[in-house]
Structure 1
Amino acid sequence: MRRSLTLIATSLLVALAVAAASGAPGASGARARKAGGMIATPLATKGSRIVDAAGRPVVLQGVNWFGFETSNHLAHGLWSRDYRDVLAQVRRLGFNTIRLPFSLAAIRSREAVTGADFAAGKNAALRGATPLEAIDAIVQEAERQGLLILLDNHSHADNAYTEGLWYGQGFSEDDWVETWKLLAKRYRDQPNVIGADLKNEPHAEATWGTGGPTDWRRAAERAGNAVLGIAPNWLIVVEGVGGGAPVPGQQLDTHWWGGNLEGVRKHPVRLDRAGRLVYSPHEYGPGVFPQPWFGRANTPALLEQRWKTGFGFIAEQGIAPILVGEFGGRNVDMTSAEGRWQRQFFDYISRTGASWTYWALNPNSGDTGGVLKDDWTSVQPAKTALLQRMIARQRVAFRGSGAVFTAPRRSRGRVRRGAVPRAGKPAARAPASPASPAAPSQPAPAQPAAPAQPAAPAPGPPAPGSLSATVVVENSWNAGWCGHLEISGPDAALAGVRAAFTLPAGTRVTQTWNAERSGDSGRITLTLPAWAQLAGGAAYAATGFCVEGSGSAGDVTIG
C-alpha cells in the first residue's frame, strides 16, 4: 500500500524536532573504536582508499537490507526472524557493513512499527517502537555484532525509489536536508554508523554541475556539508545521476540510474571537510534490463571499458574512493548472460579493491533475488560462495563455455524497487539509466504490547471462509508490473494456505517470492510458506510476484 503524503516543511521540522528529542543511542564524544571485530572507526579517505582510525586501508564489504523505505517502515524478513539473528548471520557470512535504506516518511513517522514476529520473545525491542527507534535497535545490535552501518536515503515518500529527485511528493529539499541533520545528530556518537549515502539513484530530471534546482552535485554539497557540520567524522557517499541529459565531460552514451559519475571529471563534489567524500555507482546486468552493451561478442571487453570510463577513473586518478552501493542478480553461472556478467563484475571488484554493498540480503528483490532464499534463513549457496571469494579478494572466473553474453529480451523489474529500467529506469531499468529493486509492502496496525508481556500463543489454522485476499500492485512499467497478496482475517496460521488469481492472455508471472507457485499464466496458485500468519490485527503481505504484460489479476480467491 502506498501512502499519499501532503507535507509542508514546518510540520516535518516539528516532527524531526520531536524525534531528535528522544536522543541519540550512542555515547557522547567521537572516538576511535573497535568492538566485536568491527573495523576501528571513525573512517576517513586518503586518495583512492578508505582508511580506519589508525590510517590503515579498509575495504567495506557489505550487503543491503531493505524495508525501511517501504510502507512497512521496517527491515523486511522480521515477520519471520528476530533482527538479532539476522545480523548475526550477516556477520557469519563475512560481511562487515550493512547499507540500510530508509524513506523520509519513515523517519518522521511516530507510529509503532508492525509486521514483525513478536512470538516467543522475538524482536522484543521493537514492540511499540517508531521506525527511527527500530533503526536504533538494529544499529546498536549491529555494533555488538561488529557490523558497520551506512544509512541510505532511498526515497522521500514510501516506495518512491523510482522518483529521480531528492524532493517531491510533498517533501522539499529543505525537508531532505533537515532529515539528514537529524540523523547526523542522532548517530554521530554511535561508532558503527559510518556515514550518509545521501540519495539513492538520482536520475531523470537530475543534472550534474548546472547550478539549478535539479543539480545533484549542488544538492549533494549542501546536504553533505550540513551533515559534516554535525557529524564531522562521517563519510559522505555521493551517487551519480542517469537517464537524463549528458553531464559535462561524458564519454559513454548511457548509464544505469545513479551510475553516471562522469561529471566528476569537470565538476567534482566539493565538501568543506577533506577526507570525507566517497563516490558510489550502481551497476546491474541483463537480468535487470537488456542494456545495449549486452548481447555482443565483445561484451566482456565493453564492460571492462565501461567500468573504467564510467567510474573507475575516480579511484585510478586518486580523486576519491569508490563504493559500489548496489549490484546483483539471480544467476551466477558461467553460461547465462546474467551469470557471466555478475561473475565478471565480482572479478573486477576483487582486482580493483573497491568497497561494495551487494543488492540484496532480501530474497524479495524481484529482479535480483537475494543472498537468502525465500525462507529468509538459508542462503543461496552458489551466490554466497562467490561473494565470499570477493570478500577474500580472490579472482573470479567468468569466461566459461557456452553462449556469449546474450541479453534476454525482457523488461527488468526489480521488485525491491520495482520494475522500471535501471538504465533509464523507465524501461524497467531502462537502457538509459536505471534504479533499484522494490520490495513488497506489508502494512499493519500498531501493536503496543509491552515487552515484558508474555507472548501470545501461536494462532491456529483459519476458519473456513474467514480469509479475504486482494492483489495490490506496487510498481508498474510499460511491459509489466509487480505486486503482492494482501490477506486479511482473524489471527490464524497461514502455513500451506493457497491463494489463486487469474491473469488474462498475454500476461504471465515471471518471479515469485515467499510462496510456491503453480502455473505461469492463466490461473495461478500460490501456496504460502510455513511461517506465514495473521497476528495482532496486521494484514499479511509478504508474498508477492512480478508479471510480464499489462493485464491485471482477477478472480482472487483464498482458502
Structure 2
Amino acid sequence: MRSLLAAALAAGLLSATAPAAWGSAGAAAAPVAAPADSAATTAAAAASGDDWLHTQGNRIVDANGDEVWLTGVNWFGFNATERVFHGLWSANLTEVTRSMADRGVNIVRVPLSTQLLLEWRTGRATVPSGVNTYANPELTGMTSLQVFDHWLALCKQYGIKVLLDVHSAEADNSGHVYPVWWKGTVTTADFHTAWEWVAARYRNDDTVVAVDVKNEPHGTADTSPRAKWDGSTDQDNFKYACETAGRRMLAVNPNLLVLCEGIEIYPKAGVSWTSTTPTDFHSTWWGGNLRGVRDHPVDLGAQNDQLVYSPHDYGPLVFQQPWFTGDWNRTTLERDVWDPNWLYLHKENKAPLLIGEWGGFLDNGPNQKWMTALRDLVTENRIHQTFWCLNPNSGDTGGLLLNDWKTWDEAKYALLKPALWQHGGKFVSLDHEVPLGGAGSTTGVSVSDVHGGGPGDPTDTQAPTAPTGLTNSAVTSTGVTLSWTPSTDNVRVTGYDVYRGSAKVTATPVTGTTWTDSGLTPATAYQYTVRARDAAGNVSPASAALTVTTPPSGTPTGAVKVRYKNDDTSATDNAIRHSLRLVNTGASAAGLTTVSMRYYFTRDGSASVNAWCDYAAVGCGQVKLRVVPLPSPVTGADAYLEVTFSGGSVPVGGDSGDIQLRMSKADWTNFDETNDYSRTTSPSYADAPAVPAYTGTTPAWGTPPT
C-alpha cells in the first residue's frame, strides 16, 4: 500500500505500513462449499468496446480525441488472504458499487496479487470465506473469480471503469511491503504470465481499461532486494519490468492503458547504483520516485501512447518525511518534492500522470493541510487520481466509508469531491453510453453528454485563460484589496479563485474582479495569484504573482503608496541602483508636485553622495533628487534620498511608471548596502513600506527608520 521508508521498517520504528485491520475476523457468515470451478471460462465480451483510451502528451483521450479525466478510489481485499473485496463480510456488493457511482467515482483501482491471478488462470479459484451470503445472497457459492466478474458486470451497469493493480506477489495481508515483484515461489516469469492472462481474459471488455504493472516497488540503497531504474535488463530494474510487462500485455490487447509507478530512490548526479550509501540517493515515497524517467523513459514501442506514469504520495500521518518539518506548504511541496519526482512529467507535457494512491485521516492539522494542497494541485491541473481508499480498515489512512461499510465519511468526501470529474453539477462516467450511476441516474452523465460537440470538443476539459493585470488597489496594515483584468474566456467564467501563497483563500469563487483580503499581519509580505473557473469546474493557470507588503501598525494610509525593485544584484559595489513607482490609491487624480518619497540608506563613509535619474516615465526633467544626511544615524540609515516632482499627475488607480535612480559617492568608493533600511533584494516591484511617502508634510505611506 503506502510507501514508508524501508529504514524505519527495518529498525522497527514504524508498524503502520499496512492497514491495521486487513483481516476478516468480523465476517458474519461461515465459509460456504465451493461449486465446480468455472474460472477457466472467459468473461463476457463487451457489446461495443468504444471506451478504450490512449494518451496525447500529458492528456488521456478517448477514441474521438476528446480529453477525459480518470477520478476514482481504491478498494482493496482481492490482494489479501481473503481473496475478495474487504467489507463483503457485512456490506452488499451491489449497494457499495452503486454508492460509488452515485458519489462520482468513475474508476476503481483494484489491488490483486500475482498468486491470485495464477490461481485464477489455472482453475484453482476458491470460494472466499470473507463473503456474508446473508448480505450478498447473489454471491452464494461463487469463487473469487466469479465474484470479480459479477462485480465487473455491476461496474458496466453503473458506468464505472476498472484499473487492475498487482499489489503484491503473494496473497498476503502485508505482501505489499515486499520491495519487488517476485517473492518465494512467485517468479518474474510468473509475474509476466499472470499479466498476459489478464490481458487476454478481458481484451474484449472495455470495463477494464487500465493496468498498474506493480504497486510501489521500492528499497533503499543498503537493502536487498530493491528496485532500481536504469537502462539495463537486470531483474531488479523496474523500468525494464514495466516495459516487458507492458509490451506483452499490449501484444494481446493494444487498447489497455499501462501504468508504471516510480520507485523509492534514485542516484544523485555522478553516483551509480552500486553505492550502498543512503545519502547518495534522492529518496521519497515508495512508488513515488520517477526521476529516472528523464534519463530512462519507459518504451512500449508502437503502443507508447498507452503509457501513463503513476506516482503515490502521502502525508505526515503516514510518515514524517523531512519535507514536513519547518514552515512547509504547497509551494515547498511542489518545488521540493512533487516537481523533481514526478510533476515535471505533466508540466513538460511528457506523459499523463495518475496518482494511484493519496489520502489519509482528517486531523484539522498538517495531514489535512497536505491533503488539501495535493487535492488542489490535482484539480487545477486535471491530474488523474485514485484516492486511497474506500476501505475503513486502512490502518494509517482510514477510508471514505465508515466502519459499517455503508455510511460515507462526509467530511473526507467533501475534501475529495472537487477532484472528481463533474460537468453541469453532475458526475461524468468514462463510458460513452452509460451515465455514471447507471440508466436513469440523477447524479451522473456519460462522457458523450459532455462532449456533445463531436470529436475534439473542448467544452468540458479546456481550462479558461488566466486572468491578467493583478494589482492591489488599496493596502492597510491588516488588509489588501486586489483587482485584476478578466480572463479572455470571461463568457465561460463563473468566478475567480484567489490564492495567498499556495492556499486558496476564497471560500467561494469571486464573481467580480476585485476582492479584499482582511485580517492580515502588519509588516508582512504576501504573494497573491488568481485563477479563473468555469461551470464545468475547469480552472485556469495562475495569473502572474503579485507580492504585497502590509505596512506596520499605525502606518499612515494616505492617497499614495510606493513600490520598489532592486536594479543591482551586488550589495557591495560603487553604486546604489533601484527603481520606484508612486501609486495613486485615492479617489481622484494625484498631483505629483505635492508628493515626496524617501529612500533610507547608509553612506558608508564621509564622502558626499550624488544622485541621478537614469529614466522616468514622467520624464527625468520633472524628477528632483537630493541626498539628506540624518542629524543622528539610526539602524540601517544615516541619510535618505528624497524624490520630489516639478510637475505631472497620476490617475486614479494608476502609477507614475518607472523612476530609475542611481547614487554614487564623490570618491567612487564602494557602498555596503547589506543592511540598508529601504533596500530589499527583490528584482521585481513590490510594495515598499520602508520607502515612506508624504503629501506635503503629512505622512501618507510607510514608516521611516527609528
TM-score greater than 0.5 by the shorter chain: yes
Indicate conservation of the 8 Å contact 2:330/2:503, yes or no: no
Aligned pairs for 1:152-167 within 5 A:
152-158=165-171, 159=173, 160-167=175-182
Q: 1:104 aligns with which of 105, 114, 118?
A: 114
Moved more, 168-177 or 309-318: 309-318
CA contact (8 A) 2:54 2:60 kept: yes
Tell me whether 100-109 or 341-350 shows the greater mean CA deviation.
Answer: 100-109
Could you report, residue by residue, the CA deviation over 1:509-548 in whole angstroms, capped at 9, with x for unpaired residues?
Answer: xxxxxxxxxxxxxxxxxxxxxxxxxxxxxxxxxxxxxxxx
Structure 2 counterpart of 1:209, which letter? Answer: D
1:127 equivalent to 2:140? Answer yes
Matched, 1:360 2:378: no
Residue 260 of structure 1 and its aligned partner are, at CA, apart by: 0.3
Q: Does 1:196 align with 2:225?
A: no
- Cα-Cα RMSD: 2.7
Matched, 1:230 2:252: yes
- For residues 297 and 2 of structure 1, the distance between their equivalents in structure 2, rounded to whole angstroms, comes to 35
- For 1:271, the equivalent position in structure 2 comes to 300
Seen in structure 2, the aligned counterparts of structure 1 residues 19 and 151 have a Cα distance that, compared at 3 Å, is farther
- Residue 81 of structure 1 deviates from its aligned partner by 1.3
Asked if the contact 1:207–1:245 (Cα under 8 Å) also holds between the matched residues in 2, the reply is no
CA shift for structure 1 position 68: 0.4
What SS does the corresponding residue of 1:236 show, helix, strand or coil? strand
1:217 paired to 2:239: yes
Partner of 1:207: 228
Q: d(CA) in 2 for partners of 1:339 and 1:312?
A: 21
Matches within 5 A, 1:276-355: 276-305=306-335, 306-331=337-362, 333=364, 336-355=365-384
Question: Which aligned pairs between 1:235-246 and structure 2 lie closer than 5 A?
Answer: 235-243=257-265
Residue 388 of structure 1 deviates from its aligned partner by 1.0
Separation in structure 2 between the aligned mates of residue 249 and residue 383 of structure 1, nearest angstrom: 42
Partner Cα separation in structure 1 for residue 251 and residue 314 of structure 2: 34
Cα deviation per residue 1:234-273 (whole Å; 9 max; x = unaligned)?
0000000005756999998321000000111010000021
Q: Give yes or no for the alignment of 1:137 onto 2:150.
A: yes
Q: How far apart, CA to CA, are the structure 2 residues paired with 1:74 and 1:265? A: 38
Residue-by-residue CA offset, 1:292-314 (whole Å, 9 max, x unaligned): 00021144322011212211111
Q: Moved runs in structure 1, 4+ residues, more than 3 A? A: 18-21, 243-252, 392-401
Q: Give the 3-state SS of the residue equivalent to 1:289 in structure 2.
A: coil
Structure-1 separation of matches of 2:271 and 2:347: 17
Secondary structure of 1:142's counterpart equals helix
Q: Distance in 1 between matches of 2:22 and 2:85?
A: 17
1:87 matches 2:97 = yes
Alignment of 1:54-69 (within 5 A): 54-69=64-79
Indicate the SS of the match to 2:162.
strand
Once residues 22 and 348 of structure 2 are traced to their aligned partners in structure 1, the CA distance between those partners, rounded to angstroms, is 43
In 2, Cα distance between the equivalents of 1:330 and 1:24? 37
1:376 aligns with 2:376: no
Inter-partner Cα distance in structure 1 for 2:271 and 2:40? 45
1:62 and 1:112 map into 2 onto residues whose CA distance is 28
Q: 2:88 aligns with which of 78, 83, 88?
A: 78
CA distance in 1, matches of 2:217, 2:263: 5
Identical columns (%): 36
Is 2:49 aligned against 1:31?
Answer: yes
79 and 20 in structure 1: CA distance in 2 versus 1, 3 angstrom threshold: closer
SS of structure 2 residue aligned to 1:274? helix
In the alignment, what sits opposite 2:591? none
The 3-state SS of whatever aligns with 2:112 is strand
When Rg is computed on C-alpha atoms for both structures, the one with the higher figure is 2
TM-score (norm 1): 0.63
Pair 2,307 (structure 1): closer, same or farther in 2 beyond 3 Å: closer
- Taking the aligned partners of 2:312 and 2:136, their CA distance within structure 1 comes to 32
- CA change 1:124–1:54 in 2 (3 A) is farther
Q: Per-residue displacement from partner, 1:401-428 (whole Å, max 9, x unpaired)?
A: 9xxxxxxxxxxxxxxxxxxxxxxxxxxx
**SS of residue paired to 1:105:** helix
Point out the structure with the larger strand share: 2
Residues 1:103 and 1:19: Cα distance change in structure 2 (over 3 Å): farther
Secondary structure class of the residue paired with 1:223: helix
SS at match of 1:221: helix
Q: Provide the TM-score with structure 2 as the length reference.
A: 0.50
CA contact (8 A) 1:332 1:383 kept: no
Q: Which has the higher contact order (CA 8 A, sep 6+)?
A: 1
Q: AA paired with 1:100?
A: V
Task: Return closer, same or farther for 1:2/1:282 CA change in 2, 3 Å cut-off.
Answer: closer
Shift of 1:318: 1.7
Deviation string, structure 1 residues 351-390 (Cα, Å, up to 9, x no partner): 1110000000000000000001111111111111121122
Could you tell me which amino acid in structure 2 is paired with residue 22 of structure 1?
T
1:53–1:125 CA distance, 2 compared to 1 (3 A): farther
User: CA–CA distance in 1 between the matches of 2:191 and 2:140?
Assistant: 28
CA contact (8 A) 1:63 1:99 kept: yes
Residues 75-94 of structure 1 deviation map (CA, whole Å, 9 limit, x = unaligned): 01111111111100001111
Distance 1:367 1:25 in 2: 38
2:131 match:
116
Query: What is the CA–CA distance in structure 1 between the aligned matches of 2:41 and 2:66, rounded to whole Å?
Result: 35
- Return the alpha-carbon distance in structure 2 between the equivalents of residues 186 and 124 of structure 1: 26
May I ask how many residue pairs the two structures share in their alignment?
375
